[in-house]
Structure 1
Amino acid sequence: MSFTITDLTADGTILECTVRASPDLRRFLTGEPFRTSYDVPIEDVPEGVLAVPVLAQLCPVAWANGADVYVDEVDATFARALEDVKATLLSMYDFMEGGQLYARRTIDPDPIHGAGAPDSDRAGDADGGSGLLFTGGVDSTCSYVRHREDSPTLISVRGWTITPDRSDDEKWNQLRTRVTRFADDHGLDTAFVESNMLAALDHPMLLAHYKRFVDGAWYSSVGHGIGLLGLCAPLAYARGMNDVYVAATHWEGIDLEWGSRPDIDDYVRWTGTQCHHDGYELTRQERVDVIADYVREADPDLQLQTCNDRMDGNCGECEKCYRTAIGLRLSGLDPTDHGYPFDDADYRDVRRSLDRGEWVLGQDERYMWEDIRDRIRETEPTSPPERAFFEWLVDADLDDLVAESSPPLLDRLLRASARNAPNSAYNALYPAYSTAKSGLERVRSR
């Protein structure tokens, strides 16, 4: 079993290549060429670094199937990084089998200094610089606050939560506008990366095969740490970035199987650049505290954006919006001043939605509500509705709340059907699966 990468080209700002698979792996590819666009020319980036983005997406899929990957040229520093990341994923997941990377040429432009050493021939400042994957949410904003003295370039990626489909054009434009405004207000540069990585890979088929083994989806549980960082390689090389930061989602003491962790992200590197999993020593509420201190000291009008439903602001009614608003209150801020309309009456809605299982929660969210509960125990409520909510959450069984919100049986049956179907049958089955799933989501949202 194998994947083969061919026809790798860099034309101006566009990276493109073809990915082929042996017959038993073709179901994990859609047939689209892998394509990523940058806002800086990448034609002078070495081929071994240009291969990093596609390898970062493809290798975890290969390892899940015990398959090998073939490529013409690979950056030697990144090849070593892949071995380290592979070891982590194999130790994390029993279904991972491993596999080997085979390259005709393994290139080390800086063999003396090794991983993460600056390359004097690259574009950008001689002193290098840094980049930060940025959405404007709690985690990435906290990382900005922590590294603001370095003036990191804010990097936003289209291809995961915002798809390359035209239907998501408005969301992408809204995110670009918001990140650009933040950068202008804080004297920072921006970088925007657009990729079809989850359209070249057949992500629904990956979900059908591996959802039973993971708490989230394929990309969140397995692929997004190395995947998102790997997309940055040509950009980082072209702009001379020595460091790229990705904000931690979880924190010390949470042992969840998740695709972005210190023992994944801190291993990711290519010639001239070292990646960093940032803020892992802080809980989410402690990250909100960092932001609150910064707001009081320097940026009283700071706006956060965490909503998964909107990119032009926060809906104020989804689980993540409510959770963030309550976190801001616990850190001494008025959520309404920072993008979240919230008052005491909303505590009743939050409790009702959690009690009724109206939100699909995973272990991820369970730990975040537990973090809030820990802070509540140290906080004096300021109103009767707040007191009632605090008392309820302190006694709530969070495991039961997560179990109550598990995906319905029909979703699981549809995935199993797709998983076990031959390729030809799957091609006919998947449109029906998508239609049925969309119908279920519309019913749940009423």
Structure 2
Amino acid sequence: MSSIIIDRISADDGTLECSVRTSADLERFFSDESFRTSYDVSIADVPDGVLAIPVLAQVCPVAWANGADVYVDEVDATFARALEEVKESLCEMHDFLEGGTLYARRTIEPEPTTGDESGLLFTGGVDSTCSYVRHREESPTLVSIRGWTITPDSADDEKWDALRSRVSSFAADHDCETAFVESNMLSFLDHPMLLAHYKRHVDGGWYSSVGHGLGLLGLCAPMAYARGMDDLYVAATHWDGIDLEWGSRPDIDDHVRWAGTQCHHDAYELTRQERIDVIADYVRTEDPDLQLQTCNEQMAGNCGECEKCYRTAVGLRLAGLEPADHGYPFADSDYHRLRRSLERGDWVLGEDERHMWADIRERASETEPATPAERMFFEWLETAELDELISASEPPLSHRLLRAGARNAPTTVYNTVYPAWLTAKTGLRHVRSDR
């Protein structure tokens, strides 16, 4: 029987470590690393049933993809019930998921800590900034996570330092606290192997399409319990009416909960342009110098030349703001460059971007252009075939062959050629995030 066993859980001040054993057929989906997460608050007094949540949030979707059962000594009863609801949502979304059962020797219902505090997963992008504006009266703790789009590898140290600095500065300016979480959740899992098996079923990567709603929220559980967080918000990427297979949606995130904490998928009722409108109203009334960070190319400021930078700058213009005032070098001449890049297919675009450009097109049709260049771009966008702008984003043939070979290779053979997978890893990972 396929199984995953949570073997040992230890907490030392702000560090959580877990070891995991699996049945032979699932070994290929896990690296040799223990699962580790560090917090900037002590978790020494957090109950073991809550300490189990971060690792369960990562391994359960892998188990469900293989019809495997998961075994743990102790688990928070509220989270155990939440997992059943999340499993139902994910299995309904992805027909390749088979499900499985969580077995615990003990389920506990610890007395929740009461701090009357809330938290918000935050990067400073459009989505998380909109959620901050909507919940600013709560002075939410701004939670930033290293482990997905910013990896624990030393090569990403500068990116993490830039994010920490930016979020800390935003928090200081807006009288909020911060919480920084670092985890090896995607190197603890063998993410390239998960892609090898399941990329053909998902639009994007394993974590973006399946795991990140439950996974990122679950990582926060010990910290949230220690801080006494009643509510934890994660900003929506998509909106009502967009039915994409995506790992963070209301029917996933709103189910996630544990003793004392309820998670919320926030601002799903607003399109991306409407979220920019919320930010624009806030800028005009309270924060004229607000800076956004959404760039696909760098973390320390926006490059102004990638698709997301251009898309955000156009959205700011449509909301009546000057992009240059909020972190985006943008001039009328950029409309021509943007159109040319879209027509030439310079960027890998998917269904997400098609919906977002359609949202911009709808708003543009209701807005009087401010300049001739803007008018020309919006007239082109009105008649552009957005479906033709979407790239297939299929990796090179060599990567497809690697995936096919890895799916069928014995684990011993796979382990021998693992370095080749590490070389291909960057090309196989396709992550979209605007939080």
For 2:107, the equivalent position in structure 1 comes to 106
Distance 1:436 1:48, change over 3 A: closer
Match for 1:427 among 408, 415, 426?
Answer: 415
Shift of 1:425: 2.7
Two-structure CA RMSD over aligned residues (Å): 1.6
Residues 411 and 437, structure 1, Cα contact 8 Å, conserved in 2: no
State whether structure 2 residue 415 is matched by structure 1 residue 414: no
Distance 1:259 1:436 in 2: 23
Equivalence map 1:170-189=2 (5 Å)? 170-189=158-177
Shift of 1:362: 1.3
State whether structure 2 residue 29 is matched by structure 1 residue 28: yes
Query: Which contiguous aligned blocks of 4+ residues in structure 1 show a shift greater than 4 angstroms?
Result: 436-441
Distance 1:185 1:254, change over 3 A: same
Distance 2:135 2:6 in 1: 36
Q: Secondary structure at the match of 1:170?
A: helix
Equivalence map 1:336-355=2 (5 Å)? 336-355=324-343
Distance 1:166 1:322 in 2: 30
Distance 1:54 1:299, change over 3 A: same
State whether structure 2 residue 58 is matched by structure 1 residue 70: no
Match for 2:123 among 135, 149, 159?
Answer: 135
Distance 1:409 1:392, change over 3 A: farther
CA deviation vs aligned residue, 1:294-344 (integer Å, no higher than 9, x gap): 000000000000113211111111111111111111101011100010111
Distance 2:265 2:212 in 1: 12
Distance 1:242 1:84 in 2: 20
Distance 1:258 1:252 in 2: 13
Distance 1:323 1:406, change over 3 A: farther
For 2:252, the equivalent position in structure 1 comes to 264
Distance 2:204 2:20 in 1: 26
Shift of 1:414: 3.0
Q: What residue identity is the alignment partner of 1:211?
A: K
Q: What residue identity is the alignment partner of 1:38?
A: Y
Distance 1:425 1:98 in 2: 28
Shift of 1:434: 4.4
For 1:290, the equivalent position in structure 2 comes to 278
Match for 1:160 among 148, 154, 164?
Answer: 148
Q: Secondary structure at the match of 1:361?
A: coil
Shift of 1:178: 0.4
For 1:81, the equivalent position in structure 2 comes to 82
For 1:236, the equivalent position in structure 2 comes to 224
Aligned residues: 428
Distance 1:436 1:149 in 2: 45
State percent identity of aligned pairs. 74
Equivalence map 1:364-375=2 (5 Å)? 364-375=352-363
Distance 1:428 1:402, change over 3 A: farther
For 1:380, the equivalent position in structure 2 comes to 368
Residues 360 and 406, structure 1, Cα contact 8 Å, conserved in 2: no
- Stretches of structure 2 lacking an aligned partner (at least 5 in a row): 430-435
Distance 2:82 2:257 in 1: 6
Q: Secondary structure at the match of 1:40?
A: coil
Residues 30 and 190, structure 2, Cα contact 8 Å, conserved in 1: yes
- Stretches of structure 1 lacking an aligned partner (at least 5 in a row): 111-118, 442-446
Residues 160 and 198, structure 1, Cα contact 8 Å, conserved in 2: yes
Residues 395 and 427, structure 2, Cα contact 8 Å, conserved in 1: no
TM-score where L is the length of structure 1: 0.93
Q: Secondary structure at the match of 2:352?
A: helix
Distance 1:386 1:393 in 2: 10
Distance 1:108 1:433, change over 3 A: closer
Match for 2:388 among 400, 403, 408?
Answer: 400
